[in-house]
Amino acid sequence: MNKKLENKINKELIIPKIEFQKQNKEITKWIEKLVQENKIILFYHSAKWKKMRNVVLHAYHNECVLCKLDGKITTHDNRLKNGDYRGLQIHHMKEIELNPEHGLEPIITDLITGKKIVNLIPLCNYHHNMIHGKENNILKVKEQLNKERW
């Protein structure tokens, strides 16, 4: 994780008011099981996650948090080389594999300071890769094997 970017988010981001219920123990156990079985993708396809994802996107006006902190508005990634668009991704500040008890909680209380901190935020693909330390892995395009002649 890129601690510099996470610190910037925690320092500068104004946390929106989001109504949500605290995650119950059954959901935490379900997420833990998915993590153990290496099936966490099922969490991201669940109705509960899709609903929370929409709540978070709405709370942040469908904008990338880090782009917004830099004075830009990004509601999707720039056009990729193949012409496709990518939507925003929701980032867990507390990684779900290490903190399954916060998988569906957009805002949590820091145990040390007692302050409310953000857990779920929308990021564009570029910033999501950067925060995970994959900045060199962004939008790689394979070179063409041979030149087209028409």
Q: Check whether 34 has a pLDDT greater than 70.
A: yes
pLDDT at 1: 67
Least confidently predicted of 46-50, 106-110, 136-140, 144-148: 136-140
pLDDT digits (tens, 9 = 90+) for 50-77: 999 999 999 999 999 999 998 888 876 5
Q: How far apart are CA 115 and CA 118, in angstroms?
A: 10
Average of per-residue pLDDT across 39-44: 95
pLDDT digits (tens, 9 = 90+) for 76-117: 655 555 555 567 899 999 999 999 999 999 999 888 888 899
- Between the two ends of the chain, the Cα-to-Cα distance in Å is 46
**Closest listed residue to residue 22, CA positions, set 89, 103, 94:** 103
Q: How far apart are CA 80 and CA 67, in angstroms?
A: 18
Q: What is the DSSP string of 82-96?
A: TS-----EEEESS-T
Q: How far apart are CA 138 and CA 127, in angstroms?
A: 10
Question: Side-chain half-sphere of 141: how many Cα atoms within 13 Å?
Answer: 6
**Closest listed residue to residue 67, CA positions, set 127, 17, 109, 12:** 127
Contact 106, 52 (CB under 8 A): yes
pLDDT at 139: 44
Give the count of beta carbons closer than 10 Å to the beta carbon of residue 81. Answer: 9
**21 vs 121, more confident:** 121
